[in-house]
Amino acid sequence: AQKVTQAQTEISVVEKEDVTLDCVYETRDTTYYLFWYKQPPSGELVFLIRRNSFDEQNEISGRYSWNFQKSTSSFNFTITASQVVDSAVYFCALSFSGGYQKVTFGTGTKLQVIP
């Protein structure tokens, strides 16, 4: 069975602080894909990143960075110098090869950045 755990339900930080959102996953598949999506109050989920199970390179995109560690089944997301516009719910998600098109979402972490 596939499972994604985001243990942090809500996080509050002051603007310009760094913040890390945790994501731990479970899967028996050897080929799988991990995603992060952002859902601002407007409701639309915005795709941020995809990482496949064979690529453990960390990724940096501007203020965003992602740390993928297969050894601990984690795919954590760090926002550097947070801004008020980063306030949103962030979902980590998992999909796996095998012909089934279903994405397993974590329960989400609500991030509030206080000015």
Partner 1 sequence: DTEVTQTPKHLVMGMTNKKSLKCEQHMGHRAMYWYKQKAKKPPELMFVYSYEKLSINESVPSRFSPECPNSSLLNLHLHALQPEDSALYLCASSLLTGAFYEQYFGPGTRLTVT
Site residues for partner 1 per CB under 8 A: 31-33, 35, 37, 42-47, 50, 52, 91, 95-98, 101-103, 105-108
Query: In this structure, are residues 108 and 6 in contact, taking their beta carbons and an 8 Å threshold?
Result: yes
Closest contact distance (angstroms) between CB of 110 and partner 1 is 8
The CA-based angle 107-32-4, given to 5 degrees, is 15
Closest contact distance (angstroms) between CB of 16 and partner 1 is 27
Query: In this structure, are residues 44 and 98 in contact, taking their beta carbons and an 8 Å threshold?
Result: no
Closest to partner 1 by CB, 51 vs 86, is 51
Closest contact distance (angstroms) between CB of 95 and partner 1 is 4
Query: Residue 8 corresponds to which tokens in the numbers above?
Result: 């942090």
